[in-house]
């Protein structure tokens, strides 16, 4: 599933292609991908200009004139691209916005495709995206993270996967961050020491920034808005590396299942 670095890369590559463009027409929308249920997206988007594009957690938030906004969540397999109007339409395309012609006179459409349909298109109206969303990891402070952890006895891995604790992390970057900070994934969140929380805060930022620099991780089908794959998967140190030697101590990386998700760590470097 695309996590923060992948979603950030989509936003970065998409922004120059959609900002200040007017939505001429909603050519197609698959109604059951839209929340709230029964919302008339066609009526509310037609004729509006895209005035802002931002990431919040794993959400891609579009601001449109009139102070309204909506977001697209890529789910497991979602892709968001600007394509020529006459380009062949891929199957599983759930939203098509006609953007008219760009500066070079090329007629284009914004298309959202999601074969597995775990994605979402949600109208926010004039509300903010912040309801029930956790802290933004790139700008969080140790004290904010410590406050969140003090409220839960859950394993640190599960706490970090919870979008209401930290927004934007998923399986890959939680495993990589815990390895970087030398913290065992089963450690109860409320038992972490101050220095462990400080180390983890720095590790999460370091891992995410490196991943963004490498345009995210492509495991199966993730691509940015230009259609390019990420390269960070080659730099994973524990994620999906069961049995490979730990890059620090050469102990084979272990894999366990936690909260239904595979979890990778070095039992030597990350002591419980």
Q: 17 or 237: whose CB is closer to Zn ion?
A: 237
Q: Measuring CA to CA, how many Å separate 92 from each of 30, 42, 95, 96, 225? A: 10, 19, 9, 11, 17
Per-position DSSP letters for 23-82, written without gaps between them: --EEEEE-GGGEESTT--HHHHHTT-BEEEEEEETTEEEEEETTTEEEEEE-TTT-EEEE
- Tokens representing residue 232 in the block: 């960070």
Q: Tokens at residue 155, please?
A: 């394993």
Angle of helix 194-213 relative to helix 171-180, nearest 10 degrees? 130
Q: Is 269 in the site for Zn ion (CB under 5 A)?
A: yes
- Residue 245 Cβ vs Zn ion, minimum distance, rounded to whole Å: 8
In the complex, the smallest distance separating the C-beta of residue 242 from Zn ion, rounded to whole angstroms, is: 13
Whole-number Cα distances in Å, 266 to 150, 171, 248, 252: 25, 16, 9, 7
Considering only the stretches 43-51, 103-111, 170-178, 249-257, report the one whose residues sit in contact with Zn ion under the rule CB under 5 A. Answer: 249-257
Query: Which CB atom, from 156 or from 238, has the smaller least distance to Zn ion?
Result: 238
- Cis status of the peptide bond prior to 70, with omega within 30 of 0: no
Cβ distance to Zn ion smaller for residue 3 or 254? 254
Name which position in 107, 141, 248, 271 contacts Zn ion (CB under 5 A).
Answer: 248
Residue (24 or 182) nearer to Zn ion, CB: 182
Q: Point out which span in 45-53, 124-132, 195-203, 261-269 binds Zn ion (CB under 5 A).
A: 261-269
Distance CA 111, CA 29 (A): 10
Give least dist CB 214 to Zn ion, A. Answer: 22
Distance CA 63, CA 49 (A): 8
Distance of CA 250 to CAs 167, 243, 268, Å? 32, 10, 9
If one asks whether residue 268 binds Zn ion (CB under 5 A), the answer comes out as: yes
Please identify, using beta-carbon distances, which residue of 121 and 266 lies nearer to Zn ion: 266
* Cα(162)–Cα(142) distance, integer angstroms: 17
In the region spanning residues 187 to 246, those forming contacts with Zn ion, defined by CB under 5 A, are 246
Q: Which stretch binds Zn ion (CB under 5 A): 120-128, 165-173, 204-212, 251-259?
A: 251-259
Is 266 a residue that touches Zn ion (CB under 5 A)?
yes
- Cα–Cα distance, 190 to 244 (Å, whole number): 31
Shortest Cβ distance from residue 256 to Zn ion (Å)?
15
In the complex, minimum distance from the CB of residue 196 to Zn ion, in angstroms, rounded to a whole number: 17
Active site residues: 2-3, 58, 261
Work out which of 86, 164, 249, 271 binds Zn ion, going by CB under 5 A: 249
Binding site for Zn ion (CB under 5 A): 246, 248-249, 251, 266, 268-269
């Amino acid at each position: 599933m695309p996590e923060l670095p992948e979603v950030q890369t989509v936003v970065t590559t998409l922004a120059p292609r959609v900002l200040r463009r007017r939505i001429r027409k909603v050519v197609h929308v698959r109604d059951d991908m839209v929340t709230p249920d029964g919302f008339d997206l066609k009526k509310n988007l037609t004729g509006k200009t895209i005035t802002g594009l931002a990431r919040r957690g794993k959400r891609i938030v579009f601001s449109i004139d009139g102070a309204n906004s909506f977001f697209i969540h890529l789910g497991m397999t979602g892709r968001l691209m600007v394509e020529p109007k006459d380009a062949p339409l891929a199957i599983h395309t759930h939203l098509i916005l006609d953007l008219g012609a760009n500066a070079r006179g090329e007629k284009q459409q914004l298309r959202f495709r999601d074969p597995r349909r775990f994605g979402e298109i949600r109208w926010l109206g004039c509300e903010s995206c912040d309801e029930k969303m956790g802290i933004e990891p790139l700008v969080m402070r140790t004290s904010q993270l410590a406050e969140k952890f003090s409220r839960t006895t859950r394993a640190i891995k599960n706490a970090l996967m919870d979008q209401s604790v930290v927004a934007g992390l998923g399986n890959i970057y939680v495993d990589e961050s815990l390895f970087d900070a030398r913290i065992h994934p089963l450690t109860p969140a409320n038992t972490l020491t101050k220095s462990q929380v400080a180390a983890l805060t720095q590790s999460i930022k370091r891992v995410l920034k490196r991943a963004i620099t490498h345009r995210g991780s492509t495991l199966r089908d993730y691509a940015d808005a230009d259609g390019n794959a990420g390269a960070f998967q080659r730099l994973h140190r524990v994620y999906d590396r069961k049995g490979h030697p730990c890059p620090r101590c050469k102990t084979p990386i272990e894999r366990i299942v936690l909260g239904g998700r595979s979890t990778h760590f070095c039992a030597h470097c990350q002591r419980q």
